[in-house]
Amino acid sequence: MSGKAVARAGKSIDWDHLSKVVVSDAGKRELASLRRAYDDVAATLNEKFNVKPTSINWDFYKQKLGPSVVNIFQQSYESLDKQVPDYQDDLTPVYEAKHQELLKKALVEEEDSKRKIVLLEKEIENVREQKAALKTMTVDEYFAKNPEVKEKIDDEIRNHNWGYKVRSSSSSKESVLFLLIRIVC
């Protein structure tokens, strides 16, 4: 983080607005404490990141270490590009576009999930009603609601198929009904 970034961050905080919003004395004291702490951190960051490097005293090192070694380091140091290029962020727009696309997909999935939840809640309520109705429902009432079951039973009676077999293809509701009918009859 550079000193410029710290300065930008400091400008984004509207201390005057915050002091108007905070009405209690304790809140104002806390806000003043926060502002002092923020200013201290900003000053420290400014000092730390805006320090210019000191120039190297090559003559001092040549006297202490010898000119041949220091000359190698001096040539290497001076051959370096002293300007560090600014980072060019070309990935953020790509990922922002992907992120927006994913957000759109997530919203579509969320709406789809909400619709499915509503349908499943209706189905659950229907099953609860059917379960409660089975306690008081007569066979004739059930046949009135499900004439295909009555027709199937009548076909079995006509064909003298009196044996009770649980078929894997038949639904559990029909199996329970067949059992109840056979017990009642």
**Rounded-to-integer distance, Cα 25 and Cα 17, Å:** 16
Q: Is the pTM of this model over 0.95?
A: no
Q: pLDDT by residue (tens digit) across 100-127?
A: 999 999 999 999 999 999 999 999 999 9
